[in-house]
A and B are shown apart, each in its own frame.
Chain A
């Protein structure tokens, strides 16, 4: 479903990603772990074409998105949901308008259908009755849930989440992680999550990839990670 091949990226002469090779299978949840500043978000931005690599390719269903024009990418992104670290909800729209935005842009649904879909997704994320609230009136956790709802409203086949638990307390982190897992399973989304939250990652991931200094240090299932002899993996998950 998603293939990253020999990806290199540098900014102002500083190498951020070096020879990244990854494969994410259809319906799989892959969590990219790593310390802050190791290039997790940069890698995720390559998967949706927000950044172009210096070398290498990113294949989504066998189509190399690094060779696509911005207009082609805009078309492709209708099938990809992207959850930003801080939610990135439009602050001039209320919750209903934020979630309905992709539907209004990319479908011909009438107002009634849009309303039903928004209400149904709000039920799914456990936030009924907040349609009229603005992002400034929501807590950090609620913002992330609403942003997740907006990311999946078009029944995305791919879901990319950038540090979804950052800035949340342990309980909210567990809730949002579980919600991502439930949503991904329900919609059969191929999901890539970046995180440094090891406990929740071990709980929800099918596979984990650990980034160290811009390179993949280890890839494996949560049980393989827990049993790993790799010093950095052991240090990271301890």
Chain B
């Protein structure tokens, strides 16, 4: 019983500390304490590192979606609606969620491991001893870069997914390319795009926050870096998927 109470108290304390950490980051951003050269460097590293894997997985996902859609729709004589299926699925749901999950596995893990290594090697502490706020110098640029890079990667991923669908539709289903493109443009309404895209900004905050917090709190040497990095990625996945369910409900209620 005591162990359970201790675990509960520890959980509440850690959650409180994570919320305070987000508050501290927000405070820096609101006061304009953003080191833009560092943000650009982080954007380059996070973006370049993730772009290829996002393009490949999105291309494959779009292709699989089109293949499955074609197999099902051809039974009803509705194969020309593949473009609708692929476009809407990707833009409203799969694109933002897939991209966020891949991003947290690549860039998020990198953030947590980098900050974790710096924590256990006293580099974070050294920053404080040199009169520099480590949250401002090390965390805010990474967080800001997440917020700016993930939306761009999502658009790249959605375009790649639609391209995957296009390849299957034209090569496998024999649908003319121009027809597929026109159907895609017609299918994706303004509200569909923004309904999916709005979620990306929440995912970016969740991934940046969790990965920076886990990295910044790392203790216990190289074993600790591994443990906290794994926690960062696992928590990011869980919170992205859970928040997606809530956000989807809110967006559907508001925009339909």
Interface set of A (CB-CB < 8 Å, partner B)? 48, 50, 70, 74-78, 80, 82, 84-86, 88-92, 101-102, 105-106, 150
Contact = CB atoms under 8 A, between A and B. Distances in A.
Contact of A77 (B114, B117, B131): B131
A74 B125 contact: no
Interface string B69-96: 0000000000000000000000000000
17 contacts: A50-B125, A70-B133, A74-B132, A75-B131, A77-B130, A77-B131, A82-B130, A84-B126, A84-B129, A86-B121, A89-B126, A90-B118, A90-B126, A102-B130, A102-B131, A105-B131, A106-B131
Contacts of A75: 131
Question: B118, B129, B132 — which one has the most chain A CB atoms within 10 A of its CB?
Answer: B129
Contacts of B129: 48, 50, 77, 80, 82, 84
B130 A101 contact: yes
- The B interface is mostly helix, strand or loop, or mixed, namely helix
A88 B117 CA distance: 11
Contacts of A70: 133
Contacts of B131: 74-78, 102, 105-106
Contact of A74 (B114, B121, B123, B133): B133
Contacts of B125: 50, 84, 88
Interface residues of B, number: 14
A88 B128 contact: no
Nearest to A93: B123
A102 B130 CA distance: 6
Interface in B106-152: 114, 117-118, 121-123, 125-126, 128-133
B122 A84 contact: yes
Query: A-B pairs with the 8 shortest C-beta distances?
Result: A88-B126, A82-B129, A88-B122, A77-B131, A78-B131, A74-B131, A84-B122, A102-B130
A114 to B, nearest CB: 15
B122 A74 contact: no
B177 to A, nearest CB: 46
A91 B130 contact: no
Contacts of B132: 74, 105
